[in-house]
Amino acid sequence: MLRYLIQRVLVMIPTLLVISMLVFTIIQAPPGDFLETMMAEMQARGENMDQDKMEFLRKTYGLDEPVHIQYLHWMFGRWDGLEYKSGGLLFGDLGYSFEHNLPVSEVVGDRLTLTVIISLASILFVWVVSFPIAVYSATHQYSLFDYVFTFLGYIGLATPSFLIALVMLYFANIWFGTSIGGMMEPEYVGQPWSLAKVMSVFEHMWIPVLVIGLPGTAGMIRRLRANLLDELNKQYVTTGRAKGLAPMTLLLRYPLRISLNPFIADIGSLLPELISGSVIVSVVMSLPITGPMLLAALRSQDMYLAGSFLMFMAFLTVIGIFISDVLLALLDPRIRLGAGAEK
Partner 1 sequence: MTDVRTHVPHGSPMTHFVSQAPFDPYAVDKVSPELEKIYMASQWRMMWLRFRRHRVAVAAGLVLALMYAAILVVEFLAPYGQHARNVDYIYAPPQEVHWRHQGEFIGPFVYALDYKLDMENLQRVYTENVIDPRPIRFFCEGDTYKFWGLVEGNVHLFCPPDNDTPLFLLGSDRLGRDMLSRILYGMRISLTIGLIGVSVSFILGITLGGLAGYYGGWVDDLLQRAIEVLRSIPHLPLWLALAAILPVTWSPMLVYFGITIILGLIDWTGLARAVRSRLLSLREEDFCVAAQLMGASPGRIIFRHLMPSFMSHLIASATLAIPGMILGETALSFLGLGIRPPITSWGVLLNEAQNINVVALYPWLMLPILPVIVVVLAFNFLGDGLRDAADPYR
Partner 2 sequence: MKRMLLQALVATTLMLSSSAAFAAEAGSYVSPAYFAKDEAAGELPPVTERLPENPAVASMNDLGHQGGELRMLMASPKDSRILTAYSYSRLVGYDRDYKIVPDLLESFDVEEGRIFTLHLRKGHKWSNGKAFTTEDFRFWWEDMANNTELMPAGPPKTMMVDGQAPKFEVIDDTTVRYSWQKPNTEFLPALAAAGPLYIYAPSKYLKKFHAKYADAAELEAAVKDSGQPSWGALLNRRGNLYRNDNPKLPTLDPWVLRIKPPADRLVFVRNPYYHRVDTQGQQLPYLDQVVFDVTESKLIPAKAGAGETDLQARYIRFDNYTFLKQAEKKGRFSLHLWDDSRGSNFALYPNLNCNDEAWRAVNRDVRFRRALSLGIDRHEINQAIYYGLGKEGANTIQALSPLFKPHYQKAWSSYDASTANRLLDEMGLTARDDDGFRLLPDGRRMTIIIDTAGESTEESDILELIKDTWREIGIDMFVKPSQREVFRDRVFAGDSIMSVFFGVDNGLPTADMSPQEFAPFTQQQLMWPKWGQYLETGGMNGTEIDMPEAKKLEGLLMDWRASPDTAGRTAIWGDMLQLWSEQVYSIGTVANIPQPVVVAKGMHNIPDKGIWSWEPGAHFGLYKPDTFWQDTAKELSPVESRLQ
- Position 160 contacts partner 1 (CB under 8 A): yes
Rounded CA-CA distance 21/14 in Å is 11
- Site residues (CB under 8 A) for partner 2, limited to 65-124: 86, 93, 95-96, 99-103, 107, 109
Query: How wide is the angle at C-alpha 314 spanned by C-alphas 332 and 273, nearest 5°?
Result: 75
Residue 233 or 249: which CB sits closer to partner 1? 233
Residue 117 or 319 with smaller CB distance to partner 2: 117
Q: Coil, strand or helix: which one is 85? A: strand
| Sign of CA pseudo-dihedral 249, 254, 255, 261 | positive
Q: Is 318 near partner 1 (CB under 8 A)?
A: yes
The footprint of partner 2 on this chain (CB under 8 A) covers a number of residues equal to 52
Whether 216 and 159 have beta carbons less than 8 Å apart is answered as: no
Query: DSSP state, 189?
Result: T
48 counts as binding partner 2 under rule CB under 8 A:
yes
Q: Write the CB contacts of 245 (distance below 8 Å, at least 6 apart in sequence).
A: 253
- 3-class state of residue 8 by DSSP: helix
Q: How far is the CB of 114 from partner 2 (least distance, A)?
A: 10
Which option in partner 2, partner 1, none does residue 218 bind, with CB closer than 5 to 8 A by kind? partner 1
Q: Give the range of 61-69, 74-82, 146-154, 258-266 binding partner 1 by CB under 8 A.
A: 146-154
154: contact with partner 1 by CB under 8 A: yes
108, 112, 114, 115: CA torsion to nearest 10: 120
Query: What's the alpha-carbon Rg for the chain, to the nearest Å?
Result: 25
Phi and psi torsions of 80, nearest 5°:
-115, 95
User: Of residues 299, 331, 334, 335, which one binds partner 1 by CB under 8 A?
Assistant: 299
- The reply on whether position 298 binds partner 1 by CB under 8 A is yes
Which residues contact partner 1 by CB under 8 A?
A: 11, 14-15, 18-19, 22-23, 25-27, 29-31, 147, 151, 154-155, 157-160, 162-163, 166-167, 170, 218, 222, 226, 233, 238, 241-242, 244, 269, 272, 276, 279-280, 284, 294-295, 298-299, 306, 310, 313-314, 317-318, 321, 342-343
